[in-house]
Chains A and B, each alone.
Chain A
Amino acid sequence: MRQRVRSAWLFLAPMLLVLAAAAGWPLARTVYFSFTDASLSDLDARQWVGFANYVSVLRMPSGRVIYDGLLLDPVWWGAVWNTVRFAVVSVTCETILGMVVALVLNAEFPGRGIVRAAILIPWAVPTIVSAKMWQWMLNDQFGIINVVLINLGLIDHKIAWTASADTAMAAVLIVDIWKTTPFMALLILAALQMLPREIIEVARLDGANPWQIFWRVTVPLIRPAVMVAVIFRALDALRIFDLIYVLTPNNAHTKSMSVFARENLFEFDKFAYGSAASTLLFLILALLTILTIRIGRISLEGGR
């Protein structure tokens, strides 16, 4: 037995080493950099500055006091607000639409296999490709969406979907929802197909209408599985980078926390400041994960 335990650690060692080197160590270094004044051009010439990247207080000779730092940076809080807004709206829409698609696929009709295959296409398209595809369809001059909407008389002038302040976030949401609803639908469908048919039969025999069956029987039974999917998606949405970076470049109305952090790290030559933003993003996500695992403990076990 002891030999088996020893071989267990031997088998685990390579995997743990790789994870420690690719995740643990870099994370620790990011946190460390956030307390220094490191710059991209020379990472080694750095000094410990404490919390100055987060909050700093500067006393001018004239007696004026200037507060600075990430925690007082309106651009950062704008990015936080954008990310949270994006995550809440996209996950809500994906869950509702995913439920609709899953219910459709759970019904029996000719050609169901083809529909399910079609659903998988948005999921299979790489994020960057879907960003480019939609950028082209949403193009202000030549995009097919503007052309169709004008021909239908729904709008009277061409809209610069990805550039203008009012619509950029909507464009990001449309593409994300298009791409991720299939994932939700498939997870919900898997949960639906594990439901024992008898329960629904019994409810129907008792005279419950489809609406009641859905809300009183189906939803409570699949809720644990759906909650797990929602948590996964929400954590994913909160770290969004690639779609926003490619679809709406340099747009303050869609800039997410991840985009803000990378921008400071590698484009603005504020490596330490970007590290501080990365650290805060990590803390926010870690807190949310712990919270959801605490609250969702029942549902995690119920899902099995």
Chain B
Amino acid sequence: MWLLKRIAFYLLIGAIVLIAVFPFYYAIVTSLKSGTALFQADPWPKAPSLGNYRNVLAEGAFVHNLLNSLVVSGAVVALSLFLGVTAAYALARIRFRGRSALLFAILWVSMFPQVAVLAGLFELVRMFGLYNSLFALIFSYMIFTLPFTVWVLTAFVRDLPVEVEEAAILDGATPWIIITRIFLPLMWPALATTGLLAFIGAWNEFLFALTFTSNDARRTVPVAIALLSGNSQFEIPWGNIMAASVIVTVPLVVLVLIFQRKIVSGLTAGGVKG
């Protein structure tokens, strides 16, 4: 009976791991197949080749797309961390009227369906001549990275001991000095977590990127992959699509595995405490 239970338990674990890992494994396998091997559903490549990767990278546009995604995600992280840190200090450490109402409003923005702002954002983007530029994406991504960043950083600052700051206030330090000299060095763990989650969010975003860019050279990777197609709808280049998918996903998987614990604590701070 004990043995049976043990076996059942390990079978369950095996099933969980298989289901979690297989789709991505199969994408890698597909990306290494070429020619007719693509259309045989072998679970491993019989004659592995890097041809699909060569095709995707040689096409040129895809390298542009990768760079676009990197620039947009990097800028989004930098901007939302900068705005988030100063706001978090004010929200966590300074008492003023309307503070909790403000926190609720910020949380509320993070629940906004993106489609609800799409029409208004489109008008704004066109008005400022940002259509088909990366600035439109950096600006619009603030709507989902900023509330989350502010919320998690505020929770983090609130839990820091008050004493560190009191000594500085007695010494006559201004709030700006307090933030840059005292809080910033203590906040690295929270900054890494929120920065990483903001990066992933921006890297994966699809709706705004699809709507606010119009040509191949300006697209980010998710849009490029979604729109990657062959000469006709019967010739979908699955090998290329999978190679592009693997290129885009591997850095994320590596990051997530390295920062596992930080991400889990960030998710629980944003989810459970929020």
Chain A positions near chain B (C-beta within 8 angstroms) = 4-5, 7-9, 11-12, 14-16, 18-19, 21-23, 25-30, 33, 43, 100-101, 104, 107, 109, 114-134, 136-137, 139, 141-144, 147-148, 178, 182-183, 186-187, 190-191, 225, 228-229, 232, 235, 238-239, 241-242, 245-246, 257-258, 261-262, 265-266, 271, 274-275, 278-279, 281-282, 285, 289, 303-304
Contact = CB atoms under 8 A, between A and B. Distances in A.
A182 B90 contact: no
Interface string B167-202: 000000011100100000000000000000000100
A118 B20 contact: yes
A282 B113 CA distance: 6
B245 A279 contact: no
B256 A27 contact: no
A242 B26 contact: no
B47 interface: no
- B interface majority secondary structure: helix
B272 A225 contact: yes
Interface string B106-134: 10110111111111111110100000000
Contacts of B48: none
A8 B30 contact: no
Interface of B: 9-10, 12-13, 16-17, 19-21, 23-24, 26-27, 30, 38-41, 43, 83-84, 86-87, 89-91, 94-96, 102, 106, 108-109, 111-124, 126, 139-140, 142-143, 146-147, 150, 174-176, 179, 200, 203-204, 206-207, 211, 221-223, 225-226, 238, 241-242, 245, 248-249, 252-253, 255-257, 260, 263-264, 267-268, 271-274
21 contacts: A4-B175, A11-B86, A14-B87, A15-B83, A18-B142, A18-B146, A22-B143, A27-B116, A29-B123, A29-B124, A104-B13, A115-B16, A115-B17, A122-B24, A133-B26, A133-B242, A229-B272, A246-B206, A258-B207, A262-B207, A275-B119
Given A124-B256, A143-B41, A7 B16 contact: no
B87 A241 contact: no
A120 B17 CA distance: 10
Contacts of A232: 271, 274
B115 A258 contact: yes
B35 to A, nearest CB: 13
Contact of B143 (A4, A19, A107): A19
B84 A15 contact: yes
Given A26-B120, A43-B123, A191-B272, A144 B41 contact: yes
Contacts of B26: 133, 136-137, 144
Contact of B204 (A23, A126, A281): A126
Given A12-B90, A30-B119, A118 B21 contact: yes
B204 A5 contact: no
Contacts of B91: 12
Given A8-B96, A261-B118, A262-B115, A228 B245 contact: no
A120 B273 contact: no
B188 to A, nearest CB: 20
Q: Considering residues B26, B108, B115, which has the most beta carbons from chain A within 10 angstroms of its beta carbon?
A: B115
A117 B175 contact: no
A281 B268 contact: no
Given A8-B96, A261-B115, A126 B249 contact: yes
Contacts of A133: 23-24, 26-27, 242, 245
